[in-house]
Amino acid sequence: MRRFGLIGRTLGHSFSQTYFTQKFYSLSLQEHQYDLFELPTIGELPAVLAAHSDLVGLNVTVPYKETVMTYVDELAPSATRVGAVNVIEFTADGRLRGHNTDCVGFRNSLRTFFTPVPSDARALVLGTGGAAKAVAVALQELGIPHWQVSRDPLGTGLTYNDLTPQLLAAHQLIVNATPLGTFPRIDECPPLPYQALSERHYLYDLVYNPTETLFMAKGKEAGAQVKNGFEMLCLQAEAAWDIWNA
C-alpha cells in the first residue's frame, strides 16, 4: 500500500481526497490510498506518522502550512522561498522534505485569468498566512506589485480599514487568500467596500468550496471578473504528485 493524505484542522470542505482517489482509479493504481487526518494541533503530526508507516506523501492545509515547517527534516527551495509548506515528501532515506506547490499552482492559474496583464497592474492579497505567502511570491515572479491586507494594525501591510474606494480603484486584482467563505460558513466574506468594484476588477478566490463564494458573488454584482481556486487546487495537486513520484 502507498498511502497519501491531507493534514489540517478541519477537512470537511476539502476535495483533495476525491481528487486523488479518482486519479488512482483512472491510473488503475489499486494499492494507493488517500486519507484525511484532522489534527486539533500540529503537535499531533508525529503520532499520525508513527501510526501509518506506509505513508509516502502528505498535503498540508490551513492552518498548518507554516507551523509544519518545524516538523520536516529539510525544506525544498520552493518552501524556503515562500516560507510555507503544503506538500511533504517522504524520501527514500526516511527523511521528510517540505515543498510548496501552491505558488506554482496559483501562478499558472492566474495566467489563464488575469491576462493580458496591464502594464499598471497592482494587486491586493487578502490574508497573511501560508497561502497568502505563496500568492505573494507568485505575484513577484509575474512582476505584479502588491499589498497584503490583514486585520492586524501592527502588520507590515494594509488593514481592511485602509481599503478606501480610491485604493481599490488603483488595484485591479484582488486575491482572497483567507478561508473566509469556505463551506460550511458560506455567508462570510472579506470586509471590502464592494460597491467600489467595477468591470475593471478581477477577483480571485483561493476558496473552491463552494464554487461561487460570497466574495465572488459580490464581485460579479459589481461587474468584476471572478475565479475560484479549483484550478489552482488541481495544478498544485499535480505538482505534488510529480514530487511524490520523481
Tell me which residue of 208, 237, 242 sits closest to 14, measured CA to CA: 208
Q: Which residues pair with 150 in a beta bridge?
A: 159
Residue 153, by phi and psi: left (phi above 0), alpha (psi -120 to 50) or beta?
alpha
Q: Which of 23, 65, 218, 227 is catalytic?
A: 65
CA–CA dist 112, 232 (Å, integer): 11
Tell me if 196 sits within 8 A of 168, measured CB to CB. Answer: yes
Map grid coordinates 502528505 to a residue.
58
Tell me which residue of 161, 179, 159, 163 sits closest to 171, measured CA to CA: 163
Q: Is 65 a catalytic residue?
A: yes
Tell me which residue of 127, 117, 120 sits closest to 147, measured CA to CA: 127
| Active-site amino acid positions | 65
